[in-house]
Amino acid sequence: MFTTPSFLARTVSALLLLAVVTVSAAGATSWLHDLTGSWTFSVVTENGTGTPAVTMKQEGEKLTGTYESRMLGPRGFVGTVKGDSVNFTLEANGPDGVALVFKGVVVSADSVRGIVDFSGMGGATFTGSRNK
């Protein structure tokens, strides 16, 4: 009854269109935000607040950049952006240095926020705003 060639062609076309839309939507999730640019962060610890300059470069889900503060100086980082999640780790400065792990969310195209783990030796919160 439903085995006519035109019905079969329409069904196959509809399924192919659905597959393309599904794959496109899944791929768009990882490209939802591009954090490339210059940012100012506010890092709040129990000892006070710092305002490091952060430069990010995003390529797909890969995130790299530099973090420069008065206390830590310049440090490189690597991380990821997946959907609304952003995570990156500052390199330890020397063998006795502490790596800082930032875990946050993208609030908008120009705003991020989250927590910082000081390698198990305390923590902080952070917010970041893109410089315009």
Is 98 in the same domain as 69? yes
pLDDT tens readout for residues 13-26: 544 444 444 444 44
Inter-residue long-range contacts of 123-126, CB under 8 Å, 24+ positions, other chains counted: 123/45, 124/43, 124/44, 124/45, 125/43, 125/44, 126/41, 126/42, 126/43, 126/44, 126/102
Q: What is the pLDDT of residue 45?
A: 94
Beta-carbon neighbour count of residue 116 at 10 Å?
Answer: 19
54 and 84 assigned to the same domain:
yes
Residue 3 lies in domain: 1-29
Considering only 16-20, 34-38, 48-52, 106-110, which range has the smallest mean pLDDT?
16-20
**Structural domains in the chain (count):** 2
CATH of the domain at 71: 2.40.128.120
Mean pLDDT of the chain: 83
